Amino acid sequence: MKNLMIECQVFEKIAREGRKFGLGLVLSSQRPSELSPTVLSQCNSFLLHSISNDRDQELVHKLVPDNLRGLLRDLPSLPSQNAILLGWASELPVLVQINSLPEEQRPKSDDPDFWDVWSGKVERKVTWKEITDDWQNINF
């Protein structure tokens, strides 16, 4: 726990004082409510993808000016590869579409197709031993 507090303090210091040393900071999180409020308060631009969790939505609403909060009502239903860009990076809030990466550069993290697996249409090939060893950093 002590290490986590020290790490958090380092990010907070970079966020507060980094600009005067020419440092910038990019944060990316699927759960913004779990980020440090101090760090988030230093952010001046936001690229907001779909957010459905109530706590995360509340936090995002607090981060943007009152006159832009109406735009955020669509956050839970934004399709994949779409986001709202707002803040200093754009004069006006903009709905942006993220380009697709070439197949060989895409992460292997597609959403699972539960229905096809459950119905037996697709066989799930999983080597649980390799997965658990990888999680535990065991070289095999």
Residue 118 lies in a domain: no
Q: In what order do the strands lie in the sheet with 45-48?
A: 45-48, 82-87, 94-97
In the prediction, which pLDDT does 73 show? 85
Q: pLDDT tens digits, residue range 52-77?
A: 999 999 988 888 778 877 888 888 99
Strand 82-87 and strand 94-97: pairing? antiparallel
DSSP string for residues in 83-131: EEEEETT-SS-EEEEPPPPPGGGS-S-PPP-HHHHHTTSS-----HHHH
Residue 10 lies in a domain: yes
In the prediction, which pLDDT does 41 show? 87
Residue 38 lies in a domain: yes
Output the domain CATH number for residue 25: 3.40.50.300
Q: pLDDT tens digits, residue range 19-28?
A: 888 888 888 8
- What confidence tier does 121 reach under pLDDT thresholds 50, 70, 90? confident
Please state the domain count of the chain. Answer: 1
In the prediction, which pLDDT does 2 show? 64
CA–CA separation, 128 and 110 (whole Å): 18
**Mean pLDDT for the stretch of residues 90-111:** 87
Q: 81 lies in which domain range?
A: 2-100
Residue 106 lies in a domain: no
Residue 9 lies in a domain: yes
**Mean pLDDT for the stretch of residues 117-134:** 83
Residue 73 lies in a domain: yes
Which residues, 6+ apart, have CB-to-CB distance to 46 below 8 Å?
A: 60, 63, 64, 84, 85, 86, 87
